[in-house]
Amino acid sequence: MKIITRILIAATGLFNLAGCYDAGIKQTIQETGFIYCESGSVEFFNPQISDENSILEAISAQIYDRLLIIDPISQLPSSNLAKSWQVDKTGTVYTFTLQPDVAFHSTELFTPTRSMDANDVVFSFDRILNPENPYHAVNTGHYPWFDSINFSHMVESVKAIDKHTVQFVLSSPDNTFLSALATSYAVIHSLEYSQKLASIDEKELIDIKPVGTGPFKLDQFQKSELVRLKRHDGYWQGPAKMSQVVFDISSRGTGSLAKLLRQECDVVVNPISSQLPVIIENDDLTLYSQTATNVAFIAVNTQKPLLQDARIRQALNLSIDRSSLINSVYYNSGIEAKSILPPASWAYGNDSSFIRYDLNYAKGLLREAGIKTPLELTMWVPLDNNSYNPSPKKSAEIIQSDFSKIGINLTLITSDLLSRNELIDHDIDLVLTGWNANSSDPDSMLRPLLSCNAKQAGFGVANWCNEEFDLLLDLAKETNQPRYRINIYRQLQNLLNEELPIIPLAHGVKYQANQASLKGFTLSPFNTYSFHDVVRIKEAE
């Protein structure tokens, strides 16, 4: 769905982003680029070593390319840095042919002497897979998303056949492999840059001063304030239409809308739902919306002895009035979640006997579990809105009120980020969060959140591990029979609805509001796309 308002171009003037720029910079950013406003935390620019972070995904999609991308129309993996691929009869050997003449960024620190080749691809994945790789332990030394899907078990080897051919050998047939290579995490680094940094004993800079093949390169970074990217003129698909993009990461909530209305922001993503009428009614703005493959949920910390009782988790689930959430938080733009998978998924199974609103049954389950009310619980609540939850604080307050009706006092704890240690050390019982899928494959919503590997990687905030669940996941990705895969995913959803390590709440819509003069954005239910084709259409004189 796309809502486009009438175009009315406003005059632009000199822009000063909250005093972040040096006084000597006089050019108007809007004349040569645009300002993208989204709050978030950025420490490293390499998504391989980060967990899910929408602002980092948007930035890294401009700096790096991947072998494959998810086509926004077919929703299937399609060519990118790899122009083609072949799979052998066993389904375990994938051979990729690379695009020729793909240039890496030139920076103050590094000037490449050659185009991207197979050795760069091998280095990019060997860093993840091989503990002996000199860069494996650099910076965090962890690869949360790859660990959560057990990537090191999935891939046995990666090798360069020749300069433009790379071969991946898998441990077993895997229907999810191509989708994994198309996620925002599977970026390609420069081996030559890594060698330069190692020679000057500055390996950590590979993730702080990144070099990729994307349409833009890093120019300026001020933590908690801004990230400025400049056009990569040697981009293999031709130079981007705009010469710079500035990410304003300092605003949140209503502040972003105010900046958009004052033309201090050109793009705002995930606006609060209550702001949508203001945006729609403004002739200077365009509002895009895209059905997203996502889910908002409560993760139950199953390491807590009390919450290991499934009856208590079921009681929490039955006490939540999801229709109130949809009306009050999503302004009817979202839908109630009956499963972790959204209705658009080809594997969706809806068994509403589990996911429903039933206060009497919830109270009965607490009594059966021997719980004496009032019961005291804590829930961590993020500060930033997201496509799966446009107002976490308001959602948390509604859930808090719902829980009180069955005798549960819920204390809300708000902060920007939650680490695994904080989850354990701060005695947090519940986490209000969600997930945006990277592909249309159901595995991309189930495995990173709920597999035993996800728990070990610190990616699965429910701290849940179920061997039957993992066995079914593995069966689903190995069989090529669609009918069998659907049946297995229905079994997985039924198991989750019975156990409820996470309590699904709602499926949201992905929104983007921008100045009507900007054209060329690609919206997808999955990854953020590059801004290569974005252009500002100036008003005819």
Considering the domain architecture, whether residues 248 and 391 belong to the same structural domain is answered as no
- What's the confidence (pLDDT) of residue 41? 82
Contact 432, 398 (CB under 8 A): no
CATH number at residue 181: 3.90.76.10
- The C-alpha atoms of residue 29 and residue 242 are separated, in whole angstroms, by 10
Residue 420: predicted pLDDT: 53
Question: What is the full DSSP assignment across 62-109?
Answer: HH--BSEEE-TTT-SEEESSEEEEEE-TTS-EEEEEEPSSPPPPP-SS
**Residue-number span of the structural domain to which 467 is assigned:** 294-507
**Which of 245-267 are b and which e, b meaning 16 or more Cβ less than 10 Å from the residue's Cβ?**
bbbbbbbbbeebbebbbebbbbb
Inter-residue contact 518 to 34 (CB < 8 Å):
yes
Angle, helix 359-368 to helix 310-318, in steps of 10 degrees: 160
Same domain, 133 and 149: yes
pLDDT, tens only, 187-235:
999 999 999 999 999 999 999 999 999 999 999 999 889 999 999 999 9
Q: Are residues 514 and 409 in the same domain?
A: no
Q: Fill in the amino acid letter for 211.
A: V
Residue 15 pLDDT > 90, yes or no?
no
Sign, CA dihedral 278-281-285-287, equals: positive
Q: Which of 151, 101, 93 is nearest to 127 (CA)?
A: 151
Q: Is the pLDDT of residue 12 over 90?
A: no
Residue 27: pLDDT band by 50, 70, 90 thresholds?
very low
Q: What percent of the chain has pLDDT over 70?
A: 90
Give the range with max mean pLDDT: 100-114, 243-257, 521-535.
100-114
Is residue 536 included in any domain, yes or no?
yes
The mean pLDDT of 63-91, rounded to a whole number, is 94
Residues 34 and 88 in one domain: no
Total domains in the fold of the chain: 3
Residues 335 and 484 in one domain: yes
For residue 48, tell me if it sits in a domain.
Answer: no
Do residues 412 and 501 share a domain?
Answer: yes
Please give the structure tokens belonging to residue 100: 């020729």
CA-to-CA distance for 157 and 191, rounded, in angstroms? 17
Q: For 446-459, what is each residue's pLDDT tens digit?
A: 999 999 998 876 66
pLDDT tens per residue, range 255-289? 788 889 998 899 998 888 888 999 999 999 999 98
CATH number of the domain at 309, please: 3.10.105.10
CB 35 within 8 A of CB 246: yes
Task: Based on the fold, state whether residues 141 and 263 are members of the same structural domain.
Answer: no
Is residue 169 over pLDDT 80?
yes
Distance of CA 260 to the CA centre of its chain: 23
Same domain, 302 and 430: yes
pLDDT at 253: 57
The span from the CA of 227 to the CA of 247, in Å, is 5
User: What's the pLDDT score for residue 19?
Assistant: 47
> What single-letter DSSP state applies at residue 140?
T
For 291-317, what is the mean pLDDT? 94
